[in-house]
Amino acid sequence: MPSRATKRGGDRTDLTSDCDVLVCGGSFAGLAVARALAGSGARVMVIDRYELGERQTSACAIPTNWLGALRLGAARLQTFGELVVHTPGTSGRWPLPQTFSTFDYRRLCEELWAQTGLGDGAFETATVTGRTGTTVHTDRGDLSARLVVDAMGWRRVLSHTMGVQPPRAPLSRGLEVHSAGRGAEMELWIDRRYVRAGYGWSFPAGDEVRVGIGSFWPEHGVKAPTVRLAADLGRAPDGYQGNWIPHKLRAATEDGVFFVGDSAGHCLPLTAEGIRTAFYFGLACGRELRAVLEGRASTEQALHAYGAFSGAQARKFGVLLGLQRVIGQLTGTRAIAAMVRALENPHVAGRLLGRYMSAAAPTAALGAPNWS
């Protein structure tokens, strides 16, 4: 498994190669695509700005059943059966229909990489600067491939469409600190003292607690409220990490390129959950690529099938985006406190949270994508 630090200086030698599949982006979505191609015999290369597992950008929590479905249990740190939600007027314990687990990012990436069956030389560090057709330009040279995947995040680097930059883009923003120590509760704060529209969180993960703020409104800063929440919890604001988070679905194919994960907006609005959706759509993308490699479909057919599969989820993403906007507007009102109390009822929580957690279910890992 690759474990060396990102190449720098003279170690960044020229990189030129022709391959069957070039996956640009070596985190959740890109690794899911590569995993789906395991045993295909295809020449697959994965490139990323950073070494495997080197740069965590999320709170790294996921429904536990995904870790089981992908055989990633070794990366699990803590598991939770309840979510404690705080507002200025009340706190509630929401029983979860399925448990959530925090995990070790590097370990999970290493485990996924091992499942791809690819050798050390199939993962390289390079910064992608653009493309011409299916030739991708990087700071280490040009790479050509029959099939190209953009799993590099919200910037959608391989798109030729002019993108909108934050804060005008349909993006939320999040920042998190990693404080040494332990905790027992997975907690959320819906509280205008910390963020006008969004939420704060505290996710224990073994020997650290991940504390952060997510804002639905990209123009609102998140550093000061993150520091304030950490201080209120008696946690040191150490180990900052953050990112922009897409909250609107985008086209999953464009000009012969497959887009997966944040580059296609595959992040659930309202909660900003993007890991299970990265796995879900990454595996679906990988299956379409595999069909091309095995001669069961043309590239054009695979692009159409994958684009249609992603696009078919637009209504569900739209409902969550509508809820995000409503909750953002209602934050600080009695309606939010009433919602928190209502979801303490196991029957209400089972129905509403169960519906939400059925989204991007791990049946995708078993070859049958399904959104219940």
HSE-CB for 106 with a 13 A CA cutoff = 9
Structure token digits, residue 345:
């009822």
Domains of the chain, residue spans: 9-366
Phi-psi region of 160 (alpha: psi -120 to 50; beta: other; left: phi over 0): alpha
Nearest to 35 by CA among 285, 267, 297, 362: 285
Nearest to 213 by CA among 234, 192, 184: 192
282 vs 372, residue with greater confidence: 282
pTM of the model: 0.94
Nearest to 43 by CA among 15, 25, 22: 22
Instruction: Give per-residue pLDDT as tens, 63-95.
Output: 999 999 999 999 999 999 999 999 998 999 999
Instruction: Give per-residue pLDDT as tens, 116-135.
Output: 999 878 999 999 999 999 99
Assess contact for 255 and 299: CB atoms under 8 A.
Answer: no
Q: Mean pLDDT over residues 213-231, rounded?
A: 96
- By CB atoms closer than 10 A (0-12, 13-18, 19+), residue 292 is buried
Whole-angstrom Cα distance, residue 8 to residue 28? 24
Split at pLDDT 50, 70, 90, the class of 368 is very low
The amino acid that residue 18 corresponds to is D
Instruction: Give per-residue pLDDT as tens, 14-35.
Output: 887 789 999 999 999 999 999 9
Whole-angstrom Cα distance, residue 277 to residue 261? 7
CATH superfamily, domain 9-366, is FAD/NAD(P)-binding domain (3.50.50.60)
